[in-house]
Every structure is written in structure tokens, then in C-alpha cells.
Structure 1
Amino acid sequence: MAAGYVHGYSEREAARLGEQADTLAALLHAGTAYPAGSRVLEVGCGVGAQTIHLAQASPGARITAVDRSRGSLAQARARVAAHAPGAEVEWYRADLFDLPFPDAEFDHVFVCFVLEHLSDPRQALTALRRVLRPEGTITVIEGDHGSAFFHPASAYARAAIECQVQLQSAAGGNALIGRQLQPLLAQAGYDDVVVRPRTVYADQTRPALVDGFTRNTFIAMVESVRDDALAAGLMTAGDWDRGITDLHRTAQAIGTFHYTFFKAAAVNPSGVATTGQ
């Protein structure tokens, strides 16, 4: 059920994930804090970029972080030890669809930038209900590349972004999943589903966002799929390079960039826990 991770596992990608998490921490984590002693499961923790902010926002919470990549988990341990010393985090290498935990083990589940890489995100959400106690909460955050718009406009830049969308789809994922969170959670059986947009807007008056998000998060993500895009024949090398050049113009003094993330919260209803089957 897991698609390929289209962004890869390079050092550059790990740095991009850290930059993204730090730049967007206030935007994405606002309103998410767990009581001391509560049991929190972070699914798909990757290199721990979000784990740091979970731990900092909820001192005293007992966080269990899960990822299927041994290398990512090693980086996550080191990152959290360096930036959130004293955080109570347990680390597990496991697949989302085969979690090694008893039923109703957790009070809260946190899922960030994971569903976009899965071929069946609804089944994933359903499976997570098994380990979430009745009346426990789930928080899901996803982006939506269709929400990106910018100035100066460029058909070449738009085509480069579309390459990333198509490659992720070919790998079994969905780079447009943010807009689908409400129906996905409802269809997976959750109650009280609330989804709200979290918008990033960057221009020359907001230099931290221009650097941290426009350049080092979004454009860096698109740039990383160049070889795959050209190999798949999605663009010519000349058109690709023009598209990337035009994307960088949006991070210059004349440019602006807009993107929307979607943050959902929902409740696991009372009753018999589901097995996700």
C-alpha cells in the first residue's frame, strides 16, 4: 500500500525536510498540543523534522515515532537528541499497515506529509483507528500542489511543478491530496472531521518565508525530480531549465509565491476498534 518516496533519501532531501518543518512550525503546529502523559503516535516520522516540534509543543507527552526506513529513524533519533533533549520519544521501524501495537494503545495520532505517498490513503486512515482509543483524536496535515500560484506567471514553471505531480502519481501517490482530507477521514469512519487551510504567502517583505519555503522547500522539491522528469519524457531539458529559472524569479524582489496546506482533526468514534481490513 505504500508508494515510492518520490523525493528520495538524500542528504539534501533530509535538509529540505528540516528547513520545511522549521519554517512552517508556527503555521502547521499551531493548535496542536497534547497533555502531559498522553500517548501520541507519529506515523511516518521520517528524519524527525516534525517530531522535534511535536515534542517541543507537548512537553511531557509520550511520543512514539514510527517509520519504515531504518536510515531515516537513525537521523530522527540524532535530530531530536540535538534539538529536543529530554523529549520522551520511542522509535519503531514498522509499516503503517502492520503496526506492532495493541488495540487502542494511543490517545492521539499525528500524520504529516504521509498520505500523499500512499496508494490507498483511506485504508491507511482506517487501519490507524485500530491503535487509537475510542474518542481519541487524529491530526493529519497534507499539502496540495494544485494550490501553488505565483508571480511572475510562467507556463514553463507550471509545467515543471506538474512533472512532480505526475511522477508522484506514477509512483502510487497523490500530490493533490490536501483537498481530499475531509472525505477521506469521513469515509474511514472518523467523527467530527474539521479541515482548515493553512496558507503560505511569501514576498520580499517576508524574507524568511522566501528563503525557507519558496526557495529551500518548494523549489528545491521540484528541482530534485529533474532527472526522473527528463527520463520520463515529461519535459525537454531546455524547457525544464527555463521552468526552474522562472520558479526562482518568484523568490526575487519582483516575485510572490502562494501555497496552501490543509490541516485536519477528527475523532475516533466509540465502539469496537477497526482492524483496517
Structure 2
Amino acid sequence: MDTTPFTSPHYVHGYSADEARRLGDQADTLAALLHAGTAYPAGGRVLEAGCGVGAQTVHLLDSGPGVHLVSIDVSGDSLAQARARVNAQRPDARVEWHRADLFALPFEDASFDHVFVCFVLEHLKDPEGALAGLRRVLRPGGTITVIEGDHGSAFFHPESPHAHAAIGCQVRLQAAAGGDALVGRRLHPLLAAAGYDDIVVRPRTVYADRTRPALVEGFTRNTFIAMIESVREDALAAGLLTRAEWDRGIADLRRTATPEGTFHYTFFKALAVAPR
């Protein structure tokens, strides 16, 4: 089902095949960390708001195999990739796909038991408005789960101001596009302003060192550093760093994924309830 018009946010990481792979690596590496405690009962109607390429969709289906999942995204190309991913990995799943705008949801009031939002608010100019719209389609007493990162929580060894400057480029570019790479710390006030009750926000921390090679590879290298590297051309074009400064920052960031390095990052996971 298509609805128009679509308010497509600027996705600062782009829509390349490399980005689709990065999202898959991120979802698979962090599945246990991010999805722990999220299990929807069989028969429940769940809205996945902003499914992207379906990287999180397959994990939602793992934790709620009997749900009626409705996955939406503003990008038709991303929806096609999501459908293909789910068909290949969870062919028996019950998923309904819609191309839809978060700010003009094509659903009746109180038509979902649960809503799941992951790595979406960071890209929106009006995250509070999006959350309020999602509350409209959530039944009284229904739950919303929101997961977001916060680039201000990245710290590492060896310490490097050059690496922080490279990360700062991504934060600044996302802000210029109307998003917020630091949105994780805002989840509680955003949900409260959007009218939700019983809000609980908890940090989900990733820490990687040589004793956790899967996290070093899957998160530090293939998720975080790859994400920062993806904005190189935009950062240079905007004059945020010189080419030499950028290269030094990325080189230092890569050192955090060596046997001598460590890396820390915090995601925030919120659970809230639509007013009864």
C-alpha cells in the first residue's frame, strides 16, 4: 500500500549496498544486546516504524514468531530490500509491508498493540511529532519500544582528538540535515512530551576489546568505524576537516580495533505506554 506525499528525511549514511551490509552487520552483532527483553505475544499486531532494509525486522520476528508485523518505511527501495531479506531468512513470517510517511500514517486510531522504533528518530527534524503520531495508532495501554544511539557516548583507547573530530563530522552533518546523532539521551523527554506514560529508559552499553573479537569486528570495525567513514566525501566537501585531518582521524579510530585498542558506545532503549 502506498501513500503520498512522502516526507523523506535525509539519510546521512546514504543508500548504498555497503550501507545495507553495514546495517545488517550492526543488527546481527547487537541483536542480543538490543532485543533482549522485547518479545511480543503471538497474535499481537506490531508496527515497525522505519524498517529500512529489514535488518532489525528479522530479529523482531525471532523474538515474536507469532506476531502480525506491519513494517513501514518511506523508501520504496529499502522496503524491497527488507521484503527480500525477510523472505530469504524468515519465509513463513507474517509481515505486511507499507510505503508510508511517519508523519502521515495510513492507519486508523488505536490499530496496533505495540510499536517498535529503532534508529529512526535520529534522522527526523521532528522526533516528538513522529512519536505523537505513533501514539495515535497505538491502542490505550499498548507499548512503544524506542532504541537510539548517542555518538557522544563513544570513547576509546588509544585516545585521540583527531578520531573525535572525525566522529564530530558525522554529528555535524546529521544536525545540518535536521537530525540528531545524540538523540539517545533525549528519549525520556521526547516520549514524555509526546504524551506517553510509564516511561523507562535504560542504557545498553557495547564494550569491545581483544577478548571480544566478535564485537571488535562486528561493531567497532563494521558498524561504527564504517559509519563514520561513509561521510568522508560530505565532510570534506563541507570543509569540516582537511583531507589530512580526516585521514589522521580515521587512522586513529581504526587503532581502537587493534589488539591494543578498546571501544565503548552506549545505546538507549526506552519502553513507554500509550495512555489508558
**Could you say whether these structures have the same fold, taking a TM-score greater than 0.5 normalized by the shorter chain as the test?**
yes
Q: Give 1:78-117 correspondences, 5 Å limit.
A: 78-117=84-123
1:131 to 129, 132, 137: 137
1:65 matched to 2:71? The reply is yes
Q: Please tell me the residue identity of whatever aligns with 2:31.
A: A
**2:120 & 2:250 partners in 1: Cα distance?**
26
SS state of the match for residue 77, structure 1? helix
TM-score, normalized by length of structure 1? 0.97
Supply the RMSD in Å over aligned alpha carbons.
0.7
Aligned to 1:75: 81
1:152 to 153, 158, 178: 158
Partner deviation per Cα, 1:146-168 (whole Å, 9 max, x = no partner): 00000000111000000000000
Q: 1:262 to 1:224 in 2, by over 3 A?
A: same
**1:204 & 1:2 partners in 2: Cα distance?**
40
SS state of the match for residue 103, structure 2? helix
Indicate if the aligned counterparts of 2:52 and 2:78 stay in contact, CA closer than 8 A.
Answer: yes
1:181 matched to 2:190? The reply is no
**1:29 & 1:84 partners in 2: Cα distance?**
17
**2:237 & 2:86 partners in 1: Cα distance?**
37
Aligned to 1:141: 147
Aligned to 2:30: 24
**2:93 & 2:224 partners in 1: Cα distance?**
29
Indicate if the aligned counterparts of 2:8 and 2:75 stay in contact, CA closer than 8 A.
Answer: no
2:215 to 179, 188, 209: 209
**1:175 & 1:74 partners in 2: Cα distance?**
26
TM-score, normalized by length of structure 2? 0.97
**1:76 & 1:187 partners in 2: Cα distance?**
31
* Shift, 1:69, TM fit: 0.5
Indicate if the aligned counterparts of 1:199 and 1:261 stay in contact, CA closer than 8 A.
Answer: yes
Partner deviation per Cα, 1:114-133 (whole Å, 9 max, x = no partner): 00000010111011111100
Indicate if the aligned counterparts of 2:105 and 2:133 stay in contact, CA closer than 8 A.
Answer: no
1:250 matched to 2:256? The reply is yes
Q: Structure 1: give runs of 5+ residues left out of the alignment.
A: 271-277
* Shift, 1:85, TM fit: 1.9
2:15 to 9, 13, 19: 9
Indicate if the aligned counterparts of 1:2 and 1:118 stay in contact, CA closer than 8 A.
Answer: no
SS state of the match for residue 98, structure 1? coil
* Shift, 1:2, TM fit: 5.3
**2:25 & 2:9 partners in 1: Cα distance?**
24
**1:43 & 1:77 partners in 2: Cα distance?**
15
SS state of the match for residue 210, structure 2? coil
Q: Please tell me the residue identity of whatever aligns with 2:83.
A: R
**1:2 & 1:138 partners in 2: Cα distance?**
22
**1:208 & 1:12 partners in 2: Cα distance?**
19
Identity %: 75
Aligned to 1:274: none
Q: Structure 2: give runs of 5+ residues left out of the alignment.
A: 1-6
Q: Please tell me the residue identity of whatever aligns with 1:227.
A: E
Q: Give 1:159-174 correspondences, 5 Å limit.
A: 159-174=165-180
Indicate if the aligned counterparts of 2:141 and 2:275 stay in contact, CA closer than 8 A.
Answer: yes
**1:248 & 1:255 partners in 2: Cα distance?**
9
Aligned to 1:275: none
1:34 to 32, 40, 56: 40
**2:179 & 2:8 partners in 1: Cα distance?**
8
SS state of the match for residue 249, structure 2? helix
Indicate if the aligned counterparts of 1:2 and 1:117 stay in contact, CA closer than 8 A.
Answer: no
